[in-house]
């Protein structure tokens, strides 16, 4: 019994020791940790106020303006989707006749994408010529940044600058603020806004890498290339989009990229806004560009020529030929003169001079700073309009009816004829029966009788005054007979949407 009492006493002493040790530990623990045991509520600080305001950041670096610029300009940049016909299949022994038949019945088409910039609240949009030039009728869809969709019509095209204007029926649209491209400097920050690779409303940033670039990408006899070069990323689909400065002002219309792969490799090019807006204004007002002309051929002055003529530095653009009927000759400009400035702006490349003249209108007076035989002086020249050759004969000229065909080529089933009422017809032999022809309008001369009455390219002529036409000979005979007898003729046509219509043309 004694052993049992001793064991219980020992256990009791151990328990008392543990309890005493615990009490001592509680009173001797680290005071810095003690408050943790007393916390009842945990509070986390939250704030949406930035450490620095946008204005403060913008003062520190122009790049901090990009967010505000993107928010203000993006609603004025649209996505453009265009339906275009595919090129005809090449003729070869592997091209099946059945494919020809189906191609004629169901034309092959493709969709291309691009961008555009809204310049007026009632729906005028500037884009690139190559984005919309081949569009089929009702084949241009415009999608706004808020996802509203519209069908657009072409107002006018200018292949020489790769610009175009289209129109949608809408009001109260967001518009871009137009800047002055003459004040753009190399090295300043810019943003490119567009729709590359169908990625809507994409914004990229970079700097102006160079000015007045001539990269020879426009295939036109009267081409004008004086691009703004930028390293802001521009890819397929950016064409027609906006290039803006750090004030959110439009300084260029994105047009092309320098690439061997077809994708961005460091440089893109934009048409300067001053030139773009002059072209756009002309297209809206007149349906075509009215271009001012000096009447000279020019070349940039290089080092050897500068030394030869006695210039102290390499600068200016030399007049190498001059038209005696041109404005420059009339106002005393001579072959060998070197133009140093146009309206106060230095010109050291021929395309720079072209651009400075192109933004002016026929009838305006331009101030030229000329260097001639060691002397500098100013000349005021009133510009004339560039008269581009018109097709002959013109429909509105009072000439007797002519029925001579234009050359027929190799008589391989395709014939042409140009009518004095202002349109050209191609007779295309049917693959299944070479004796039958489709009579297709391939050209309509602007402002002719045919143009004014609604004849358009790609329409098919099926009858003349209710008499069916099957070949070019019957078409010419019926046209001549009805014009001579009645002074008018009614065309039965089928458009590219297979809709039938009737158009009356009257002899002038």
Q: What is the mean pLDDT of residues 273-293?
A: 88
275, 310: one domain: no
Grade residue 60 by pLDDT with cuts at 50, 70 and 90.
low
How do 153-158 and 109-118 pair as beta strands? unpaired
How confident is the model at residue 414, as a pLDDT? 63
How confident is the model at residue 458, as a pLDDT? 80
pLDDT at 463 exceeding the cut of 60: yes
Residues 6 or more apart whose Cβ sits within 8 Å of residue 360: 278, 292, 366, 383
pLDDT > 70 in the chain, percent: 76
123, 195: one domain: yes
Q: Domain residues for 269?
A: 65-89+97-286
- Domain assignment present for 18: no
Two tokens, residue 94: 């592997």
336, 360: one domain: yes
Measured CA to CA, the distance from residue 291 to residue 357 in angstroms comes to 8
Grade residue 354 by pLDDT with cuts at 50, 70 and 90.
confident
CATH number at residue 476: 2.30.42.10
- DSSP strands (E only) in 54-138: 77-85, 109-118, 124-128
Q: What is the mean pLDDT of residues 375-388?
A: 81
Q: Which of 50-54, 218-222, 433-437, 453-457 has the lowest mean pLDDT?
A: 50-54
Residue with tokens 């581009």: 388
111, 247: one domain: yes
How confident is the model at residue 100, as a pLDDT? 53
- Using DSSP, state whether 250 is helix, strand or coil: strand
Grade residue 394 by pLDDT with cuts at 50, 70 and 90.
very low
103, 132: one domain: yes
- Domain assignment present for 401: no
Q: What CA–CA distances, in Å, run from 487 to 302, 479, 480, 507?
A: 62, 10, 10, 5
160, 254: one domain: yes
pLDDT at 146 exceeding the cut of 80: yes
Instruction: Produce one character per residue of 146-158: b if its CB has 16 or more CB atoms within 10 Å, e if not.
Output: eeeebebebbbbb
- 245 or 55, which is more confident? 245
How confident is the model at residue 144, as a pLDDT? 92
Measured CA to CA, the distance from residue 195 to residue 78 in angstroms comes to 8
pLDDT at 256 exceeding the cut of 60: yes
Residues 6 or more apart whose Cβ sits within 8 Å of residue 282: 156, 158, 288, 289, 290
End position of a domain, from candidates 257, 286, 315: 286
- Domain assignment present for 17: no
- 194 or 87, which is more confident? 194
363, 425: one domain: no
pLDDT at 421 exceeding the cut of 60: yes
Instruction: Output DSSP code: residue 375.
Output: E
- Domain assignment present for 396: no
- Domain assignment present for 327: yes
How confident is the model at residue 109, as a pLDDT? 72
Mean pLDDT of the chain: 77
How confident is the model at residue 403, as a pLDDT? 30
How confident is the model at residue 412, as a pLDDT? 43
How confident is the model at residue 97, as a pLDDT? 42
- Domain assignment present for 32: no
195, 270: one domain: yes
Q: What is the mean pLDDT of residues 193-202?
A: 81
How confident is the model at residue 53, as a pLDDT? 59
Grade residue 402 by pLDDT with cuts at 50, 70 and 90.
very low
74, 185: one domain: yes
DSSP H helices in 250-295 = 273-286
End position of a domain, from candidates 341, 365, 385: 385
CATH number at residue 236: 2.40.10.120
How confident is the model at residue 360, as a pLDDT? 87
- Domain assignment present for 366: yes
Grade residue 87 by pLDDT with cuts at 50, 70 and 90.
low
Grade residue 117 by pLDDT with cuts at 50, 70 and 90.
very high
pLDDT in tens, 288-345: 888 888 888 888 888 888 888 888 888 888 888 888 888 888 888 888 888 998 988 8
196, 214: one domain: yes
211, 113: one domain: yes
The count of domains in the chain is 3
Measured CA to CA, the distance from residue 163 to residue 286 in angstroms comes to 15
What region does 318 belong to: left with phi over 0, alpha with psi -120 to 50, or beta? beta
254, 184: one domain: yes
Q: SS in 3 state form for 158-226?
A: ECCCCEEEEECCCCCCCCCEECCHHHCCCCCEEEEEECHHHCCCEEEEEEEEEEEECCCCCCCCCCCCC
Beta carbons of 284 and 156 less than 8 angstroms apart = yes
Grade residue 430 by pLDDT with cuts at 50, 70 and 90.
low
End position of a domain, from candidates 286, 320, 335: 286
- Domain assignment present for 334: yes
Q: Which residues are catalytic?
A: 130, 162, 239
């Amino acid at each position: 019994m004694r052993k049992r009492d001793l064991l219980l006493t020992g256990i009791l002493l151990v328990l008392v020791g543990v309890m005493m040790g615990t009490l001592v530990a509680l009173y001797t623990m680290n005071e810095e940790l003690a408050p943790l045991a007393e916390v009842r509520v945990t509070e986390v600080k939250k704030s949406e106020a930035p450490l620095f305001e946008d204005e403060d950041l913008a003062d520190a670096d122009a790049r901090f303006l990009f967010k505000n610029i993107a928010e203000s300009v993006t609603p004025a940049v649209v996505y453009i989707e265009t339906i275009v016909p595919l090129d005809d299949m090449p003729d070869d022994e592997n091209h099946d006749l059945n494919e020809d038949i189906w191609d004629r019945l169901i034309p092959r088409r493709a969709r291309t994408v691009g961008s555009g910039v809204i310049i007026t609240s009632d729906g005028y949009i500037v884009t690139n010529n190559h984005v919309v030039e081949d569009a089929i009728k009702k084949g241009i869809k415009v999608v706004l940044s808020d996802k509203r969709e519209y069908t657009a019509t072409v107002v006018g095209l200018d292949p020489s600058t790769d610009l175009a204007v289209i129109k949608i029926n809408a009001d109260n649209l967001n518009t871009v603020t137009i800047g002055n491209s003459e004040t753009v400097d190399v090295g300043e920050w810019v943003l490119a806004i567009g729709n590359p690779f169908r990625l809507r409303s994409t914004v990229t940033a970079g700097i102006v890498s160079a000015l007045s670039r001539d990269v020879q990408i426009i295939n036109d006899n009267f081409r004008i290339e004086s691009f703004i070069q930028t390293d802001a990323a521009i890819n397929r689909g950016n064409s027609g989009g906006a290039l803006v400065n750090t004030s959110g002002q439009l300084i260029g219309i994105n047009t092309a990229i320098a690439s061997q792969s077809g994708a961005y490799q460091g440089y893109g090019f934009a048409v300067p806004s001053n030139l773009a807006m002059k072209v756009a204004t002309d297209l809206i007002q007149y349906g075509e560009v009215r271009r001012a002309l000096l009447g000279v051929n020019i070349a940039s002055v290089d080092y050897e020529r500068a030394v030869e003529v006695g210039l102290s530095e390499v600068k200016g653009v030399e007049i190498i030929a001059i038209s005696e009927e041109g404005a420059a000759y009339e106002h005393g400009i001579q072959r060998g003169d070197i133009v140093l400035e146009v309206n106060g702006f230095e010109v050291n490349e021929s395309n720079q001079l072209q651009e400075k003249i192109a933004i002016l209108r026929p009838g305006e007076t331009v101030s030229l700073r000329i260097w001639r035989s060691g002397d500098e002086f100013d000349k005021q020249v009133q510009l004339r309009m560039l008269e581009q050759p018109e097709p002959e004969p013109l429909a509105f000229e009072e000439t007797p009816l002519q029925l001579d065909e234009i050359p027929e080529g190799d008589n391989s089933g395709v014939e042409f004829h140009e009518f004095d009422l202002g349109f050209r017809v191609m007779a295309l032999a049917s693959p299944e029966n070479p004796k039958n022809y489709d009579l297709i309008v391939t050209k309509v001369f602007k402002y002719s009788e045919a143009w004014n009455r609604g004849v358009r390219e790609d329409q098919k002529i099926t009858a003349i005054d209710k008499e069916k036409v099957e070949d070019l000979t019957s078409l010419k005979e019926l046209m001549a007979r009805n014009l001579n007898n009645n002074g008018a003729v009614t065309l039965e046509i089928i458009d590219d949407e297979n809709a039938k219509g009737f158009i009356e043309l009257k002899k002038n």
